[in-house]
């Protein structure tokens, strides 16, 4: 059976399960078991594009949402929740109450330029507030995020190397890194990228990217759509009411870094945003949503009041620094033929899939 057929069957099954749960209202019951009903809804996106299929040919698909799908998802949320800014949400969380209608906040990670160009017009037309978490060193460089660059390079390498697994192992050995980091994952470009990012420090990942690019070259055209926001754009967005938060200085995966480096990543980003834009920065998004107890402590020491992972796991000592988030993209809430599905969306928001599949993150003890 082909991979496409397996995916299609999974889509049909997921849609059928979602429709049955919504029809019987079991999704609401599961939501209560998962305590989703007692939490505000915070949704997260990455890039917003005009054409998903065209963009997915050169970028990580799960980071893309078309403007059309974004609007459908926001309409669904708006019919059931009241949209608030992250600052308003923070005040409600500190007060310990949600009000008669649960609040919802919209966030965008990484600070891609298309959030300004494509998401902002949708948000402004609908009167929906939002927040963007930016990576300050990437804004300074004006180049792509490390995960985008690495994905593009790995894709190019896999089409050029006759034996990708062996070639990558030799390249890793040449820069002093054990191939065991990616040995189980060299099956496709995305799995390889995830293994490298989750298994190595930011410095090691940078060295690997440089080594691969030296062999296969870069693709500037593919990187064009991955450009970051500029400080001028961010100033415009902040003046329009968008909350600007931090996503570290370099997008380092913090659980792989030393405590002093975590604090520098978090504090350095906050101070740079405040210096550039003249706005207070109280909100922080963990790169890849990954955190452990030590990471949360470091983020607290860096001066943040609120933190957002990409899952529903909480640090009970710092609940405001681990506010649950639901990450959405083009295919996160669709039926078997990739049309928006209210039933799948409901199950997603109510935590049905999270309860069934577990967190999937390693948060330590």
- The mean pLDDT of 29-54, rounded to a whole number, is 78
What pLDDT is recorded for position 4? Answer: 45
Higher pLDDT, 181 or 296: 296
Average pLDDT on 112-121 reads 97
SS3 letters across the chain? CCHHHHHHHHHHHHHHHHHHHHHCCHHHHHHHHCCHHHCCEEEEECEEECCHHHHHCCCCHHHEEEHHHHHHHHHHHHCCCEECCHHHHHHHHHHCCCCCCCEEEEEEEECEHHHHHHHHHHHHHHCCCCEEEECHHHHHHCCCCHHHHHHHHHHHHHHHCCCHHHHHHHHHHHCCCCHHHCHHHECEHHHHHHHHHHHCCHHHHHHHHHHHHHHHCCCHHHHHHHCECCHHHHHHHHHCCCEEEECCCCCCCHHHCCHHHHHHHHHHHHHHHHHHHCCCCCEEECHHHCCCHHHHHHHHHCCCCEEECCCCCCCCCCHHHCCCCEECCCCCCECCCCCECHHHHHHHHCCHHHHHHCCCCCCCC
In the predicted structure, residue 2 carries a pLDDT above the cut 50: no
For residue 114, is pLDDT > 90?
A: yes
For residue 309, the model assigns a pLDDT of 94
Rounded mean pLDDT of 334-358? 81
The more confident residue out of 257 and 364 is: 257
Q: How confident is the model at residue 330 (pLDDT cuts 50, 70, 90)?
A: very high
Q: Tens digit of pLDDT for each residue in 46-60?
A: 999 999 999 988 899
User: Is 80 exceeded by the pLDDT of residue 308?
Assistant: yes
pLDDT of residue 352: 73
The CATH code belonging to domain 3-142+235-357 is 3.20.20.370
Q: What angle do CA 354, 342, 243 make, to 5 degrees?
A: 70
Supply the pLDDT for residue 7: 46
Using the predicted structure, report yes or no on whether residue 356 has a pLDDT greater than 90.
Answer: no
Q: Return the pLDDT at 6.
A: 38
Q: What does the pLDDT read at residue 268? A: 97
Q: For the residues 202-229, what does the mean pLDDT come to?
A: 87
Question: What is the mean predicted confidence (pLDDT) over 114-133?
Answer: 97
Res. 320: pLDDT tops 80: yes
Say yes or no to pLDDT of 20 above 90.
no
pLDDT at 15: 65
pLDDT for res 203: 86
Sorting pLDDT into bands at 50, 70 and 90, what band is 19? low
Q: What percent of the chain has pLDDT over 70?
A: 84
Mean pLDDT, to the nearest integer, of 154-179? 88
- Residue 18 pLDDT > 80: no
Instruction: Tell me which long-range contacts 214-220 makes (C-beta under 8 A, separation of at least 24).
Output: 215/157, 215/171, 216/153, 216/156, 216/157, 216/160, 217/156, 218/149, 218/152, 218/153, 219/58, 219/152, 219/156
Domain-wise residue ranges, the chain: 3-142+235-357, 146-223
User: What pLDDT, in 10s, does the model give residues 227-250?
Assistant: 999 999 999 999 999 999 999 999
Q: What is the pLDDT of residue 5?
A: 44
Tokens found for residue 205: 């990942």
pLDDT attached to residue 355: 63
Cβ-contact 293, 365 below 8 angstroms: yes
> For residue 322, what pLDDT is reported?
96
Asked whether the beta carbons of 353 and 85 are under 8 A apart, the reply is no
% of the chain surpassing 90 pLDDT: 54
Neighbours of 283 (CB within 10 A): 25
pLDDT at 225 over 60: yes
Question: Which of 28-42, 132-146, 178-192 is the most confident on average?
Answer: 132-146
The overall average pLDDT reported for the chain is 86
Range 256-277 average pLDDT: 95
Residue 275 confidence (pLDDT) above 60: yes
């Amino acid at each position: 059976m082909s991979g496409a057929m397996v995916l299609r069957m999974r889509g049909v099954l997921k849609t059928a399960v979602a429709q049955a749960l919504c029809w019987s209202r079991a999704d609401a019951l599961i939501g209560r078991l998962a305590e989703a009903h007692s939490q505000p809804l915070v949704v997260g996106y990455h890039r917003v594009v005009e054409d998903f299929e065209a963009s997915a040919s050169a970028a990580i698909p799960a980071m893309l949402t078309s403007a059309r799908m974004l609007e459908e998802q926001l309409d669904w949320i708006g019919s059931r929740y009241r949209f608030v800014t992250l600052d308003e949400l923070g005040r409600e969380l500190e007060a310990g109450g949600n009000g008669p209608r649960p609040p919802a906040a919209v966030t965008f990670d990484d600070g891609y330029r298309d959030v300004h160009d494509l998401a902002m017009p949708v948000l402004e037309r609908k009167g929906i507030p939002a927040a963007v978490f930016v990576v300050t060193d990437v804004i300074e460089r004006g180049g792509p995020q490390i995960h985008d660059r690495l994905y593009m390079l790995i894709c190019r390498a896999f089409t050029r190397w006759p034996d990708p697994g062996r070639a990558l192992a030799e390249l890793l050995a040449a820069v002093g890194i054990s191939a065991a980091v990616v040995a189980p994952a060299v099956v496709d470009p995305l799995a390889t990228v995830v293994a490298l990012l989750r298994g190595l420090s930011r410095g090691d990942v940078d060295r690997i990217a440089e080594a691969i690019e030296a062999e296969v070259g870069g693709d500037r055209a593919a990187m064009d759509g991955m450009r970051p926001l500029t400080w001028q754009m961010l100033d415009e967005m902040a003046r329009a009411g968008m909350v600007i938060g931090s996503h570290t200085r370099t997008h380092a995966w913090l659980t792989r870094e030393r405590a002093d480096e975590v604090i520098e990543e978090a504090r350095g980003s906050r101070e740079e945003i405040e210096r550039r834009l003249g706005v207070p920065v109280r909100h922080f998004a963990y790169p890849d949503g990954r955190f452990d107890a030590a990471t949360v402590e470091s983020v607290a020491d860096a001066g943040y009041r609120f933190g957002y992972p990409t899952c529903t796991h909480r640090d009970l000592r710092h609940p405001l620094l681990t506010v649950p988030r639901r990450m959405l993209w083009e295919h996160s809430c669709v039926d078997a033929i990739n049309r928006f599905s209210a039933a799948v969306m409901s199950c997603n928001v109510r935590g049905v899939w999270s309860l069934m599949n577990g967190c999937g993150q390693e948060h330590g003890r």
